[in-house]
A and B are shown apart, each in its own frame.
Chain A
Amino acid sequence: MSFSLVIKIGGEGGEGVISAGDFLTEAAVRSGYHVVNFKSFPAEIKGGYANSTVRISDEKLYSTGDGFDILCCFNAEAYAYNKKHLKPGTVLVYDSSDFEPEEHDGVIMYPVPLSDIAKNEIKAYITKNIVALGALVGLFNIPVESLKDSIKAKFSRKGEKIVNMNYQALEAGMKYVKENLVKKDGFEFPPPIGLKDVVIMEGNQAVAKGCIAAGCEFYAAYPITPATSVGNYIVEDLIRKDGWLYQAEDEIASLAMAIGASFAGVKAMTATSGPGLSLMSELIGYAGMTETPVVIVDVQRVGPATGMPTKHEQGDLYHAVYGSHGEIPRAVLAPISVEDSFYMSIEAFNLAEKYQMPVIVLTDAAMSLRAEAFPTPDLSKLNIVNRLIYKSEEDKEQKFIRHGRFLRYALFTEDGITPMGIPGDPNAIHAITGLERQENSDPRNRPDIRTYQMNKRFKKLEKLLEEDYDRFIEIDAPYKDADIGIITWGLTASITKEAVQRLRSRGLKINAMYPRLLWPVKEDVFEFFAKSSKRILIPETNYYGQLATVVKDRTHIRPISYNIYRGEPFIPKEIEDIVDFLMENQEITEGRFTPEHVYGEKAYGLI
């Protein structure tokens, strides 16, 4: 890659750290560059350490990198958190009116009295973050007009005075740097190339926008970190679209309401995190059994029980695939990026509506707080699927009516899909029940009826594999005989993409497969991919290797799984390191590995 710059800003929560990162993100977009931004809030409601990492590049990147190039510390706490990552060649910009750092070999230091400038020159301590941005502009040539536009876009509602005060703060930071510091590093922002037609969204926002684009009209919510903001982002859009968000009394009620709304004829959803998904288990089975379309978004966090509510883990795949007693048809989708979260949310509704079943979307805590700029989606070009609804006038032979009863669960359709009757229609009156039943919904315990109805429900998945599966599987396999084939999912897939680029540029033959649809599984696709590689590696941020388990269950592949479960996503370097480790240890062909195998006791030093 030609240009990539990672700037990390840290400080006290509430000091404008996060908004400084947001301004920087938007300024990069206004200058025409690609950007990924990852925010981390303190666990406390007020105060505590917050940070924002912004990665700017001239080609689409998939991670926030291995570490920062430039660290900007608003206070001593932020410095204390990050000092072990100050490596030779990195830059530290810090508030010299607040603290003095230790000596760091090879680290370039720029002291800037951020607080003093804000207090004494601008007479507004609140502008400290903008002074800091000014310093960064002065030091690294960040396009100042783009930054000014971002500030104006944000503050113009508050009046010219506020905009001008912030401009002054920006200029004060720039002036200080120019007059007092000599540039000693090589980091330089390239000249702006112009704003493109893009949107900036956070992960949970992309989910919300995708769901509304898919036609969602009802959302039942129960607050839970880190899923709550899906609701925050969708609530007003839903109302404007004449839909509604209902804050339920618990997650069980949420899913029950979504199922009720879906039965009444509208596209319905709920979003939650692991603990909520556990509570919803029984109703997921009910939705599958009654063939009611519903979308459940699980923004995964560290489990089990309360775990680490704000931290990343890919620990709910088992639950999404196998959770709930008995067996039902379902689909499990996992977007790999923020942009993907938008499109996969639409796909979730499409699959739920087409196959009349629950669809679970797995994102995670890190993805939820990640912002990306991506090309503005054009809804007129997207395929939106609606459920098959019974229309009496189209059923000339009255095939779906027997003895005056509507056959909601008719067994004679080839693909197992039967039209739904919507309340209000006098010709399709019927019951749905969680009991096994015959075609007209009458409960029955008969072995033949049970078998036929099970087959009917699962036939729908056969159709899905036939008609809809392939577009969810991204295969990047340029080599016929790759050293290693990596299969991975979710955010880990994004990070792996960057590692794969680096490994290939070093001459290694690495193939990769990124499935977005994790259930059902088309065995042939996996096995065909596996044939192109000597060994299969599945990195995941969970203990057991949950995708690895599914792959072992459904295919003949015996993968090497690589697992971390510390509450953080991988960095690309770690994927590189496990591949290097496997290249040095050719005898390893399967099994479960952790950083201890790769780094020995040093493994914990990395954390």
Chain B
Amino acid sequence: MEQQLELQPADYRSDIEPTWCPGCGDFGVISAITKALAELKIKPENVVSVSGIGCSSRTPLFLKNYSMHVLHGRAIPTAIGVKLANPDLTVLVEAGDGDLFSIGSGHNPHAARRNIDITVLCMDNQVYGLTKNQISPTSREGLYGSLTPFGSIDKPVNPISYMLTFGATFVAQTYAGNLKHMSEIIKKAISHKGFSFVNIISPCPTYNKVDTFKYYKDKTIDINEQGHKELDNLQKALELAMKDLEHYYNDSAKVPIGIFYEKEEPTYQDRVKEVKTKYKASKDINPQVFIDECKVLPV
């Protein structure tokens, strides 16, 4: 038997060079994803990366695994289809804040509340980059965009508190400027049995001149290090989450990163298994049976 060589992060990178601008936070994210997959020893052929449309949604094309670069907003339902068809696959959604919290936001609650065992990585740069600078649902008030030359007058959404209330069983935030933290969080998110959501603050150096690496450098604070250890306490998680956007309004406020919430609960697939056991499900059943059930039989 040939000895199985250790998997390296590079084994998960395709030979397509990323098309991102120099200095984009997403370079860090892709390093964290490949590092996490290598450390978890998940074979590339058993990973399916699914994305929508946007700068960050190109990620699957730069990875060497099975990839679906889908339509704007439709990464999550597509990923659900993959997972239900083959539960043995590791299914990742790699998408942006526009994809996940604007056009595709209607899919989030249902994937979360059903605890479908997929990992959603939101690369949150608080801006639409691929269409060249428009405000996104996570943009801070006052941010300039080409369609809001007067500065945004919209309140931003809070992805963490959204996902917590939708019933996600793993919710975390990390930062593209901290590779170690990012890969550790992504590892935990993938390992979590159930629906996991990670918001990754991933600055856009081209169109968001406010929420930059420089801005976040000393802003982040690791909530787990700071004593948030009771991870299955939803109340506490929500309290912390509500502070997530405070820094937009208060210069001295910090940006919380780390695991907000983690709870082991039966996954959708666990429940499907129970149902199938009741029905004595079997691939071997001849479908002629289903036809014959419509027969008119002598009584």
Contact = CB atoms under 8 A, between A and B. Distances in A.
B147 interface: no
A377 B285 contact: no
A237 B78 contact: no
Contacts of B149: none
A431 B109 CA distance: 27
Interface of B is mostly: mixed
Interface stretch (A255-263, A460-468, A510-518): A255-263
Contacts of A509: none
B296 A253 contact: no
Given A220-B81, A429-B44, A434 B69 contact: yes
Contacts of A432: 67-69
Interface stretch (B85-93, B132-140, B168-176, B222-230): B85-93
B81, B109, B283 interface centre (most CB from chain A within 10 Å): B81
Contacts of B65: 429
A29 interface: yes
Nearest to A384: B287
A600 to B, nearest CB: 46
A434 B45 contact: no
Contacts of B6: none
Nearest to A239: B279
Interface in B250-290: 272, 275-276, 279-283, 285-288, 290
B77 A256 contact: yes
Question: Which one of A239, A249, A373 has the highest number of Cβ atoms from chain B below 10 Å of its Cβ?
Answer: A249
A162 B72 CA distance: 57
Contacts, number: 198
B2 interface: no
Contact of A199 (B45, B106, B291): B291
Contacts of B74: 252-253, 256, 283
B69 to A, nearest CB: 4
Nearest to A423: B66
Given A246-B80, A252-B74, A423-B86, A236 B61 contact: no
Contacts of A379: 286-288, 291
Interface in A217-262: 217-218, 220, 236-237, 239-242, 244, 246, 248-250, 252-254, 256-262
Interface string B80-108: 11111110110000000000000000110
Interface in B187-214: none
Nearest to A289: B71
A244 B272 contact: yes
Question: Which one of A149, A220, A261 has the highest number of Cβ atoms from chain B below 10 Å of its Cβ?
Answer: A261
B50 to A, nearest CB: 7
B292 interface: yes
Nearest to A254: B77
A186 interface: no
B294 A286 contact: no
Nearest to A282: B71
A209 B291 contact: yes
B131 to A, nearest CB: 15
Contacts of A149: 298-299
Contact of A283 (B15, B64, B71, B276): B71
Contacts of A240: 279-282, 285, 290
A182 B272 CA distance: 61
Contact of A152 (B16, B285, B286, B299): B299
Interface residues of A, number: 74
A248 B107 CA distance: 9
A8 B28 CA distance: 71
Most chain-B Cβ atoms within 10 A of its Cβ — which of A253, A380, A430? A253
Of A200, A268, A429, most buried by chain B (CB within 10 Å of CB) is A429
Contacts of A380: 288
B157 interface: no
A424 to B, nearest CB: 6
Interface stretch (A116-124, A435-443, A578-586): A435-443
B43 interface: yes
A258 B84 CA distance: 10
Contact of A201 (B14, B107, B294): B294
A283 B74 CA distance: 9
Q: How large is the interface on B (under 10, 10 to 19, 20 to 34, 35 or more residues)?
A: 35 or more
Contacts of B45: 423-426, 429
A256 B78 contact: yes
A220 B65 CA distance: 25
A195 interface: yes
Contacts of B81: 218, 220, 246, 256-264, 268
A155 B230 CA distance: 57
A403 interface: yes
Interface in B24-66: 43-46, 48, 50, 60-61, 64-66
A424 B90 CA distance: 10
B110 interface: yes
Nearest to A245: B84
A258 B79 CA distance: 10
A433 interface: yes
A256 B52 CA distance: 11
Contacts of A480: none
A434 B67 contact: no
Nearest to A374: B294
A153 interface: yes
A259 B84 contact: no
A260 B85 contact: yes
Interface of A: 26, 29-30, 149, 152-153, 156, 195, 197-201, 205, 209, 212-213, 215, 217-218, 220, 236-237, 239-242, 244, 246, 248-250, 252-254, 256-266, 268, 282-283, 286, 373, 376-380, 403-405, 421, 423-426, 429-435, 441-443
Please name the 10 residue pairs, one residue from A and one from B, whose CB atoms are nearest each other, closest first.
A260-B81, A257-B81, A431-B67, A264-B85, A433-B69, A253-B77, A256-B77, A261-B85, A199-B294, A260-B78
Interface of B: 14-16, 43-46, 48, 50, 60-61, 64-71, 74, 77-86, 88-89, 106-107, 109-110, 272, 275-276, 279-283, 285-288, 290-292, 294-299
17 contacts: A212-B287, A218-B85, A239-B275, A242-B281, A244-B84, A246-B80, A249-B77, A249-B110, A263-B81, A266-B85, A268-B85, A404-B15, A423-B46, A423-B66, A426-B43, A429-B66, A434-B70
